[in-house]
Amino acid sequence: MNLPSDYEQEMKELLGTELEAYKKSLDLPVMQGLRVNTAKITCEEFEAITPFSMEKIPWIPNGYFLKEEERASRHPYYFAGLYYLQEPSAMTPASRLPVEPGDCVLDLCAAPGGKATELGGRLMGQGMLLANDISSSRAKALLKNLEMAGIPNVYVTSEDPEVLERNFTSFFDKVLIDAPCSGEGMFHREPRMMEYWKERGPEAYVPVQKKLILQGARMLRGGGMLLYSTCTFSRKEDEEVIEYLLQEMPDMRLKEILPYEGFAKGAGLEKCVRIFPHRMPGEGHFLALLEKSGEDSRPGQENLRTGKRKAPKLPDCAEEFLSLLSYPIDRENLKLDRDRLYLLPGRVEVPKLRFLRTGLYLGDVKKNRFEPSQALAMALKPEEFVSCIRLEPEDVRTVKYLKGETLDVSDLPVEKQKGWQLICVRDYPLGFGKLAGGILKNKYYAGWRWQ
């Protein structure tokens, strides 16, 4: 691979005698990976049903090396949100931010959701994830990925972080900043990134990275943790950004990152981690984990956390549909916004922002009918809906369903012969359908159809 000469010089300064090994690693096949969505299925359960040849990634608890990315992206289990396809080193930042159920988590640069889907999954429906990206087109892909992963307790926004900072000072328990960067760790996978790099190298990204890390740190509560990551090797975008933060905010301090034998230490900041492709099987990343000192106090945020809500009065059709669910719904967290019904994440009250989503979108009130959303289907377990149709992955009707076709399902067992059905591939929901006389009217969201 022909690297830009300035870049090669920069890498020589960083790697010294390891430069040749790094360059050789770029001639090896690109690493691909699959990360199991543990909010939907355990790794053991997925290993028992996977049709792909996979090998455990030793430093990611739910990550696997995968050789058949193409096939995995066109399998019904993918549409059921059982996994996310992600390059192995890109799985590392979310795996090293210790998110726990009940946390309030911010992913400031989240699109398309490779890390947000993991952070959200680890919340197990408790607490809240605010997933933001300044680009509204990229935020749409983020929303799709979070909904496909079945994450209910999420706000998706497309805001300038300045706006978020005004509203969430000292608020979040955990913050991830997967910063925009010059992408040197992507050269192997996407050689065209070298052309962008020649036009906009590391210097172009440093100002925004410095701004983002300060904004993220200010939104962190005392005792909270922030993880900064990039997929680039330049010291300017990595350690120097951390040095800048430590200088500007003396209440932030570096923490040890859960180790792995292939990780290299940061250049001059030993607690930071670098992933180099010649040292371990990953394309390349930088990670720094920081903690904010001080009390767990969230000045001025008490009412955001404990705000009282009032249960809305719902139309009969919505009540009727909700009676088909045994999904836990706290009625005070229901919000009817014109015709759209949402279940807001509990505990937190969030101000008006440029939202793409507020909580779990349950469905629409249309005249006297209620149409459940695709997001609701993805967040359910089969036992939480009154009637399910289970298809096998090999059954041709599974793909036909994902293509939006009407199906004859008269041969399949079903709890209720008429009305709404949750359509599953085995035990994993794909979407809704409406049954009458053994024929299933397809309600799979048209925007997600199998192409």
Ligand X SMILES: C[S@@+](CC[C@H](N)C(=O)[O-])C[C@H]1O[C@@H](n2cnc3c(N)ncnc32)[C@H](O)[C@@H]1O
Going by the annotation, the residues of the binding site for S-adenosyl-L-methionine are 109-115, 133, 160, 178
**Which string of DSSP letters, residue by residue, matches 225-251?**
EEEEEES---TTTTHHHHHHHHHH-TT
Binding status of residue 278 toward ligand X by CB under 6 A: no
CA distance 87 to 34: 8
Which residue in the set 14, 104, 111, 129 belongs to the binding site for ligand X (CB under 6 A)?
111
| Residues that are catalytic | 231
**Two tokens, residue 228:** 């900064």
**Looking at 110-118, 241-249, 352-360, 396-404, which segment touches ligand X (CB under 6 A)?**
110-118
Residue 449 CA to residue 451 CA, distance in Å, equals: 6
Among 19, 26, 134, 325, binds ligand X (CB under 6 A): 134
- Residue 112 as a binder of ligand X (CB under 6 A): the answer is yes
Q: Which of 110, 119, 193, 334 binds ligand X (CB under 6 A)?
A: 110
Burial class (CB in 10 A: 0-12, 13-18, 19+), 97: buried
Count of residues that bind ligand X according to CB under 6 A = 17
Query: From residue 268, how far is each of 19, 240, 259, 442 by CA, in Å?
Result: 18, 10, 17, 58
Task: Kindly state the smallest distance separating residue 50's Cβ from ligand X, in Å.
Answer: 23
Six token digits for residue 402: 């994902």
Residue 133 in contact with ligand X, rule: CB under 6 A: yes
Q: How far is the CB of 110 from ligand X (least distance, A)?
A: 5
Question: Which is closer to ligand X, CB of 161 or CB of 345?
Answer: 161
Q: Which residues contact 274 (CB under 8 A, 6 or more apart)?
A: 233, 238, 263, 264, 265, 266, 267, 284, 285, 286, 287
Q: Within a 10 A sphere around the Cβ of 270, how many other Cβ atoms? A: 10
Q: Which is nearer to ligand X, 133 or 283 (CB)?
A: 133
Quick check: 130 and 106 in contact, CB under 8 A? Answer: yes
Q: Rounded to the nearest whole angstrom, what is the least distance from the CB of residue 116 to ligand X in the complex? A: 7
Give the nearer residue to ligand X in terms of CB position, either 186 or 290.
186
Return the range that interacts with ligand X (CB under 6 A); candidates 19-27, 97-105, 113-121, 300-308.
Answer: 113-121
- Shortest Å distance, C-beta 134 to ligand X: 4
**Between residues 131 and 378, which has the closer beta carbon with respect to ligand X?**
131
Q: What x-and-dash track marks residues 195-214 binding ligand X by CB under 6 A?
A: -------------x---x--
**Could you give the count of Cα atoms lying within 13 Å of 265 in the half-sphere of its Cβ?**
8
Q: Which is nearer to ligand X, 205 or 428 (CB)?
A: 205
240 counts as binding ligand X under rule CB under 6 A: no
Query: Residue 295: is it exposed, middle or buried by C-beta count within 10 angstroms (0-12/13-18/19+)?
Result: exposed
185 scored as a contact of ligand X (CB under 6 A) = no
Please state, in angstroms and rounded to a whole number, the distance separating the CA atoms of residues 268 and 288. 12
Binding mask 317-346 for ligand X (x = CB under 6 A): ------------------------------
**Closest CA relative to residue 272, chosen from 243, 298, 300, 294:** 243
Q: Which residues are documented as binding site?
A: 109-115, 133, 160, 178
Taking CB under 6 A as the criterion, which residues in 158-177 touch ligand X?
161
Q: Is the dihedral of CA 172, 123, 339, 405 positive or negative?
A: positive
**Of the residues 87, 147, 178, 238, which one makes contact with ligand X according to CB under 6 A:** 178
- The answer to whether 33 contacts ligand X (rule: CB under 6 A) is no
CB atoms within 10 A of CB 27: 8
C-alpha 56/C-alpha 65 separation (Å) is 6
Q: Render 81-118 in DSSP notation, one character per residue.
A: TSEEE--GGGGHHHHTS---TT-EEEETT-TT-TTHHH
Binding segment toward ligand X, per CB under 6 A, in 112-120, 297-305, 379-387, 426-434: 112-120
Nearer to ligand X, 134 or 269 (CB): 134
Question: Binding to ligand X by residue 126, rule CB under 6 A?
Answer: no
Q: Is residue 180 a contact residue for ligand X (CB under 6 A)?
A: yes
**Closer by beta carbon to ligand X, 109 or else 388:** 109
Q: Which stretch, 128-136, 249-257, 401-409, 428-436, contacts ligand X (CB under 6 A)?
A: 128-136
Q: Which of 109, 146, 193, 378 binds ligand X (CB under 6 A)?
A: 109
Least Å distance between CB 357 and ligand X?
Answer: 17
User: Binder to ligand X among 33, 113, 284, 345 (CB under 6 A)?
Assistant: 113
108 lines the binding site for ligand X (CB under 6 A): yes
Closest CA to 182 of 221, 232, 245: 232
CB-CB contact of 342 with 359 (8 Å): yes
Query: Under the rule (CB under 6 A), what is the footprint of ligand X?
Result: 108-115, 133-135, 138, 161, 178, 180, 208, 212
